[in-house]
Amino acid sequence: MKIHEYQAKALMADRGIAVPTGRVATTVDEAVAAVRPLIEDSGNPVVVVKSQIHAGGRGKGRFKEHADVGGVNVVTDGITGGIEAAEERVRDLASRMLGSTLVTIQTGPEGKQVNRLYIEQGIDIATELYLSVLLDRATSRNIVMASTEGGTEIEVVAEETPERILKEEIDPAFGLLPFQARRIAYALGLEGDALKNGVRFLDALARASVELDTDLVEINPLVVTTGGAVMALDGKMSFEANALYRHPEVQALQDITEEDAAELEAKEHDLSFIKLDGDIGCMVNGAGLAMATMDIIKTVGGEPANFLDVGGGAEKDQIAAAFKIITKDPNVKGIFVNIFGGIMRCDVIAEGVIAAVEEVGLSVPLVVRLEGTNVELGKQMLDDSGLDLVSATDMRDGAQKILELTK
Amino acid sequence: MSVLIGNDTRVLVQGMGKTGRFHTDKAIAYGTHMVAAVHPSRAGQTEVFEGETDQSGVPGRADTYRVELPILRTVGEAVAASGANASVVYVPPAFAADAIMEAADAGVPLIVCVTEGIPVADMVRVKRYLEGKDVRLVGPNCPGVITPEQCKIGIMPGYIHKPGRIGVVSRSGTLTYEAVHQLTLNGLGQTTAIGIGGDPVNGTNFVDALSLFNDDARTEGVLMIGEIGGTAEEDAADWITANMTKPVAGFIAGTTAPPGKRMGHAGAIISGGKGTAAAKIDALEAAGVLMAQTPTDMGAAMEQAMAAAAERR
């Protein structure tokens, strides 16, 4: 689960990780009201207005409605014009950013609507660095990844200058040890106060990652200020879904306007669903088989409209819910049901499909491929139901049949 | 011969709830020696299983069975009472890591964890705990392990399997059934099928399973089924190039998966350009693995790989 930058920074601040002071705003007036206290408290006449969306690349992003406005704006009007000038500029920016659509490298061309702004104090930056904590699947341990190339995407650094990336493995029995934090700080070129602050920052960051069960914490850039402070100028946090049950305070941070409505609805029915761009809806049991079903649709020349795993023990009403979710997508021109009944019996599936079609109705072609436990009974039930559906003998056959019917 | 489990495997079950009971019954019907259960809140009770024998399972048994399974407080007590040498974990996700570590502490040499949804951080701790201990974990989030007509540990349907020549290893449940079914239909059959599970942190990986099959006298070829996410398939490709003496066929699911999305399995995600199906297919093909183009062709790819190996000999 992803959260916004301002939420991540609040979680960090609570755990002793240094972040700039800021205020979240959902209206223009709130944005303007944030300016005076920020400038007066920090003594820095510069403020930054940042779009809050669940996608990276905001700084280089542009608004669809206002091509001249970026996703992140540094307001320097306060330096010469005082607080009032800064407020005026923030009013102008906020009125154009809020409610508009930001397009970044990660949002896709359709972009994302900005509903929240984060107004932050300006920082006098001396150096920009990179830090993250994430799982290293090869060693089954979390690692701290650090680089001197702050502000650049880490994937790019890994590609072009891999020698500038440092990794420290976190032993789950001990946590990040002080010597490891020092080693990272030295490698990042920190000295004096910045060294001390950097080690403290790293220790707090590693602890927060464990405490919150994060999937990823990424600080890019991590900045050293001219005064030797070490701060998270940007902060991204995502959380591991399986561990959310033990963090209700984190679960509460979910912004459902950032999530796909169909995916949320699927989750309520314990279905795993991901919307795709094609026109052939699929309903499958098992994640691997569901992926393979998408693949085979593509192999025969079609485009899958979704990934949908009904799981190993789906009941009749779950299958009905799955049907509803698939048919809600206006792009769907046909549905391919692909089931390998193991523990899940084919007659139960057939019963579910029949009940779902009777309840939801069916306006597009349906191809069903059943295999496994009680397959003959399941097929018989489908045949006897009088439903307008086509049976397939195997996956490829099913994919070809649904493709022909949707052409 | 087979790998991991066979006629002499004695299995205890951790978690005798609804799921544990359902699959324990199926395992007994198949002919698996289920010998004890651990479920602290029900310790002292006896769980009774009776029904009709699964004819696709261990041959030469009576048509019906009746087993009284003692429920104990701890894995240590269960092992002492039953002589179990394997454990299957059906404990809910929040408590599953503890259950695995308890089994490891009791010295159970094979722990199969079926539970889906264990927090990654818990599994990181489990892996650390298992270091230096002479135990093997299979899973979590996996269908389990089966040696046809000998022993079934997990949730796979027994009847689609048939004793034979191929070792199967897979990250996906239903896709394994698909593969096993094809191998049964084309007559190759299976020595043992191992579901290693769809989580990013798991016990047994592809390299472990390949190594077991490479050393097993009965296994003549291996079918491996991977999916997007991580680099376990790439590691397997390196190991195959250096060590594998038997033909390998494979399939990778997720060619059409969009980056940055978890495709059902916690471990099935393409992140930062890493873990794509294309990279895995390339690596395995370079290692001489015959890749099935679609899941319908997995059994045929295995046949082809076996034929090609026979020709080289």
Residue B201, pLDDT score: 96
User: Within a domain: residue B4?
Assistant: no
Can you list the alpha helix ranges (DSSP code H) found in A43-143?
A: 77-97
What 8-state DSSP symbol labels residue A26? S
Say if B160 is an interface residue toward chain A (CB within 8 Å): yes
B265 belongs to the catalytic site: yes
User: Within a domain: residue B145?
Assistant: no
Q: Looking at the structure, do residues B132 and B176 belong to the same domain, yes or no? A: no
Whether residue A299 and residue B261 make contact (CB cut-off 8 A), yes or no, is no
A130 belongs to the catalytic site: yes
Q: Looking at the structure, do residues B111 and B174 belong to the same domain, yes or no? A: no
User: Within a domain: residue B27?
Assistant: yes
> If chain B, 313 residues long, is cut into consecutive pieces of 10 residues, what is the mean pLDDT of each piece?
90 95 96 98 96 96 96 98 97 97 98 96 97 96 97 95 97 93 97 96 97 97 95 96 98 89 74 83 97 95 96 84
Whether residue A287 and residue B258 make contact (CB cut-off 8 A), yes or no, is no
Percentage, residues of chain A above pLDDT 70: 99
Distance, in angstroms, between B237 CA and closest chain A CA?
14
User: Within a domain: residue B149?
Assistant: no
Q: Which of B174, B251, B294 to mutate to test the interface with A (most CBs of A within 10 A)?
A: B174
Residue A152, pLDDT score: 80
Within the 138-167 window of chain A, which residues sit less than 8 Å (CB to CB) from chain B? 138, 140-142, 154-155, 158
Residue B30, pLDDT score: 97
Within the 32-61 window of chain B, which residues sit less than 8 Å (CB to CB) from chain A? none
ipTM score of complex:
0.90
Q: Looking at the structure, do residues B300 and B221 belong to the same domain, yes or no? A: yes
Query: Where is pLDDT greater, at B313 or A323?
Result: A323
CATH number of domain containing B277 = 3.40.50.261
Q: Looking at the structure, do residues B120 and B181 belong to the same domain, yes or no? A: no
Q: Looking at the structure, do residues B300 and B268 belong to the same domain, yes or no? A: yes
Residue of A nearest to B231 (CA): A138
Q: Looking at the structure, do residues B117 and B15 belong to the same domain, yes or no? A: yes
User: Within a domain: residue B195?
Assistant: yes
Q: Looking at the structure, do residues B245 and B294 belong to the same domain, yes or no? A: yes
Number of domains chain B is built from: 2
Residues 6+ apart with CB under 8 A from B245: B214
Q: Looking at the structure, do residues B133 and B212 belong to the same domain, yes or no? A: no
Whether residue B160 and residue A372 make contact (CB cut-off 8 A), yes or no, is yes
Residue A155, pLDDT score: 80
Within the 215-244 window of chain B, which residues sit less than 8 Å (CB to CB) from chain A? 225, 227-232, 235
Q: Looking at the structure, do residues B101 and B232 belong to the same domain, yes or no? A: no
pLDDT, tens digit (0-9, with 9 covering 90-100), for A184-221:
999 999 999 999 999 999 999 999 999 999 999 999 99
Q: Looking at the structure, do residues B258 and B299 belong to the same domain, yes or no? A: yes
Most confident of A349-353, A359-363, B234-238: B234-238
Q: Looking at the structure, do residues B228 and B303 belong to the same domain, yes or no? A: yes
Q: What is the 3-state secondary structure (H, E, C) of chain B?
A: CCCCCCCCCEEEEECCCHHHHHHHHHHHHHCCEEEEEECHHHCCCEEEEEEECCCCCCCCCCCEEEEEEEEECCHHHHHHHHCCCEEEECCCHHHHHHHHHHHHHCCCCEEEECCCCCCHHHHHHHHHHHCCCCCEEECCCCCEEEECCCEEEECCCHHHCCEEEEEEEECCHHHHHHHHHHHHHCCCCEEEEEECCCCCCCCCCHHHHHHHHHHCCCCCEEEEEEECCCCHHHHHHHHHHHHCCCCEEEEEECCCCCCCCCCCCCCCCCECCECCHHHHHHHHHHCCCEECCCHHHHHHHHHHHHHHHHHHC
Residue A387, pLDDT score: 86
Q: Looking at the structure, do residues B111 and B183 belong to the same domain, yes or no? A: no
Residue A13, pLDDT score: 97
Out of B85, B104, B138, a domain closes at B138
Provide the mean pLDDT of chain A. 93
pLDDT mean over A312-335: 86
Residue A262, pLDDT score: 86
pLDDT-based confidence at A151, cuts 50/70/90?
Answer: confident
User: Within a domain: residue B15?
Assistant: yes
pLDDT, tens digit (0-9, with 9 covering 90-100), for A135-146:
998 899 999 999
CATH number of domain containing B14 = 3.40.50.720
User: Within a domain: residue B152?
Assistant: no
Q: Which helix (H) or strand (E) holds A219?
A: strand A214-225
User: Within a domain: residue B124?
Assistant: yes
**Residue B70, domain extent:** 10-138
Within the 182-241 window of chain A, which residues sit less than 8 Å (CB to CB) from chain B? 210, 213, 215, 240-241
Catalytic hit among A5, A6, A130, A168 = A130
pTM attached to this predicted model: 0.93
Percentage, residues of chain A above pLDDT 90: 73
Q: Beta strand B136-138 with A22-25: parallel, antiparallel or unpaired? A: unpaired
Question: Are B172 and A289 a contacting pair, CB within 8 Å?
Answer: yes
